Amino acid sequence: MRVTCLLTATASILALAGASAAGPAKSRARVPVVRSLAANEVEDSTKTGAVGPGATGPRVVRAQILLDRARFSPGEIDGVYGDDLGIAVKGYQENHGLKPTGTIDAEMWRLLDSDAGPLLATYTITSADEKGPFLPIPADVQEKAKMKWLGFETPEEGLGERFHSAPKLLAELNPGKKLDTAREQISVPNVRHPVVRLALRVVVSKSKRTVIAYGAGDKQLAQYPATIGDTHDQLPIGHWTVTGVVHYPWYNYDPEHFWNSDPKAAKAVLPPGPNSPAGRRGSASRSHTMESMGRRIRGTSGTANRPGASG
Residues 108 and 203 in one domain: no
Residues 205 and 303 in one domain: yes
Alpha helix segments (H runs only) across 20-129? 37-42, 58-69, 83-95, 106-112
Residue 141 belongs to a domain: no
Checking 39-48 for CB contacts under 8 A at 24+ apart, the result is 39/120, 39/173, 39/187, 42/119, 42/120, 42/173, 43/118, 43/119, 43/120, 45/109, 45/113, 48/106, 48/109, 48/110
The DSSP result for 130-187, as a single string, is TT----PPPSSHHHHHT-S----SSHHHHHHHHTTB-HHHHHHHSTT--TTSTT-EEE
**Alpha-carbon gap, residue 128 to 132, rounded angstroms:** 8
Output the domain CATH number for residue 245: 2.40.440
- Reported as a single tens digit per residue, the pLDDT across 73-106 is 999 999 999 999 999 999 999 999 999 999 999 9
4, 302 contact by CB (below 8 A)? no
Output the domain CATH number for residue 83: 1.10.101.10
What is the structure's pLDDT at 304? 33
CA distances from 75 to 136, 223, 275 (A): 23, 10, 16
Structural domain ending residue among the three candidates 78, 112, 146:
112
Residues 105 and 199 in one domain: no
CB proximity list for 103: less than 8 A, separation 6 or greater: 50, 51, 52, 53, 89
* Averaged pLDDT of the chain: 81
- Reported as a single tens digit per residue, the pLDDT across 252-271 is 999 888 888 888 889 999 99
Structural domain ending residue among the three candidates 82, 112, 142:
112
Q: What average pLDDT does the segment 11-37 reach?
A: 43
H-run or E-run covering 10: helix 8-14
**Alpha-carbon gap, residue 185 to 84, rounded angstroms:** 30
What is the structure's pLDDT at 135? 96
**Alpha-carbon gap, residue 225 to 211, rounded angstroms:** 6
Residue 90 belongs to a domain: yes
Residue 29 belongs to a domain: no
Residue 145 belongs to a domain: no
Q: Range of 59's domain?
A: 44-112
Structural domain ending residue among the three candidates 62, 77, 112:
112
Residue 28 belongs to a domain: no
Residue 153 belongs to a domain: no
Q: Which residue has the higher pLDDT, 142 or 22?
A: 142
Number of domains the chain contains: 2
Residue 199 belongs to a domain: yes
**Alpha-carbon gap, residue 201 to 21, rounded angstroms:** 23
**3-state SS assignment for residue 111:** helix
